[in-house]
Amino acid sequence: MKKTYFCNSLQYMGIKPGNDYYAKSIMQKANVVGWKTATAIVVANMVGTGVFTSLGFQLVATQNTWSILLLWALGAIMALCGALSYAELSTHLVRSGGEYHFLSKIYHPYIGYLSGWVSLTVGFAAPVALAAMALAEYSAIYLSIPPQIIALVAVLAIAAFHSVSLQKSSQLQNISTLIKIVLILAIIAAGIWITPDQSALNWNSNWQQEIVLPAFAVSFVYVTFSYSGWNAAAYIADEIQDVRKNLPKALILGTLLVSALYLLLNYVFLKQAPLSALQGELKVGQVAAIQMFGTNGGKLISLAIGLMLVSSISAMAWAGPRVTQVMAEDHRLWRRFAARNTKSIPVAAIWLQTGITCLLVLTGTFEQVLIYSGFILQLFAALAVAAVFLLRKKNKAPKGFRSPL
């Protein structure tokens, strides 16, 4: 009786697991995204504001260079473990949607539905709003336009671009991510080459005492935020060519590339600026740039950091609506957002997320939303990673990627 009542309640909300809408809509989907574009989505989603802001807060209580680099190395290991797990899930349960699809299939449709709701409301819209406002703040040095206007224009323009075709989305993502990587490599090369007058580098042996302090664990929270996004390509699995081969490649290569960039960037920041200038500072990237290139050069680097965020906004504007679209395929309540146009683009889902993002930008509430929702987002990701072991019990003859974990 209780089970029947629960299932009826789910159907009343529009949740009807196992319907054939997905089977009918699969013919509309185009597998045109290669592994390079999928990797670009992972890189762009991971490299956002976190790596340019976290170090200043970490240095308040953790100042040994070995300790700092260990933090980022541990973050890399954590992200790689997640990427390996998602690679296995995505190649056995081939469908876009990420956690929504995995949790629905392995645990229960209701858990997947909750995950989809979180992804729609805060999982993507809030980070897009945060990245757009950061882009606006960095660009405001050269533009006498209110930051909110810059942020809204950026969000709307990128959403419009992603509403055209998958080919156009791929072009935007590849070009913007390539620009991001080139700019970061230029900063790293300059930082390694230039010899500073003062430096925050500290190679003493006291790191062994630092890593057992509570502050080390607190500093790791900033690292986990910076590494988030390692699962980005899983959200567009339906659009990736030869998904069982290319999706694991994209998740793993993207995560490894970002891990290397993060370790080198933090080394450069520590090398190029004194501890007093970095400690507690939000814009550590800008501080290090001013130390390397002077005030005018620092402003140019700030603008470059803002431009880097275009690829982050683009990646989330691409991946997020696919969760909404897949959820709408399964649930009658959301059916209007399941439709794709003739170019296989879920336009309605794209503009639903864009509308929520614009609302967050206008109200300025996204930072609070991110703080309070961060735990929930991590919980769903952890449930998805744990689902690998349940999947192995159910699937005795695996057809896709097998994680070595």
Q: Is the pLDDT of residue 75 over 70?
A: yes
226-261 residue pLDDT tens = 898 899 999 999 899 999 999 999 999 999 999 999
The pLDDT value recorded for residue 24 is 46
Residues 19-56 pLDDT 10s: 444 444 444 555 688 999 999 999 999 998 788 888 98
Long-range contacts of 216-220 (CB under 8 A, 24+ apart): 216/61, 216/62, 216/67, 216/71, 218/61, 219/57, 219/58, 219/61, 219/62, 219/71, 220/71, 220/74, 220/75
- Per residue in 283-335, pLDDT tens? 888 888 888 888 888 888 888 888 899 999 999 999 999 999 999 988 877 78
Cβ contact 102:89 at 8 Å: yes
pLDDT at 316: 94
Q: Which residues contact 368 (CB under 8 A, 6 or more apart)?
A: none
Is there a contact between 88 and 403 (Cβ–Cβ < 8 Å)? yes
361/355 Cα distance (integer angstroms): 10
How far is CA 2 from its chain centroid? 39
Number of neighbours of residue 262 by Cβ within 10 angstroms: 25
pLDDT at 185: 95
Find, among 340, 351, 94, the residue nearest to 240 by Cα.
94
Note every long-range contact of 213-218, with CB atoms under 8 Å and residues 24 or more positions apart, other chains counting.
213/61, 213/62, 215/60, 215/61, 215/62, 216/61, 216/62, 216/67, 216/71, 218/61
Give the model's confidence band at 8: pLDDT under 50 very low, under 70 low, under 90 confident, else very high: very low
Report the run of H or E that residue 7 belongs to, with start and end: helix 2-12
The model's pLDDT over 124-164, given as tens digits with 9 standing for 90+, comes to 998 898 889 888 888 877 778 888 999 999 999 999 999 99
Pairwise pLDDT comparison (349 vs 14), residue with the higher score: 349
Q: Quick: pLDDT tens for 165-193.
A: 999 999 999 999 999 999 999 999 999 99
* Percent of all residues in the chain with a pLDDT value above 70, rounded to a whole number: 89
Q: Does the structure show a pLDDT above 50 at 3?
A: no
What pLDDT shows up at residue 18? 44
Report the C-alpha gap between 346 and 324 in whole angstroms: 9
Residue with tokens 């290991």: 77
Where along the chain do its domains lie? 32-387
What is residue 398's predicted lDDT score, i.e. its pLDDT? 60
What is the pLDDT, as a whole number, of residue 150?
93
Say how many C-beta atoms besides its own lie within 10 A of residue 355's C-beta: 13
Element (H, E) at 308: helix 284-330
CA distances from 301 to 154, 213, 293 (A): 19, 35, 9
Query: What pLDDT score does 17 carry?
Result: 45
User: Residue 215: pLDDT band by 50, 70, 90 thresholds?
Assistant: confident
Architecture of the domain made up of 32-387: Up-down Bundle (1.20)
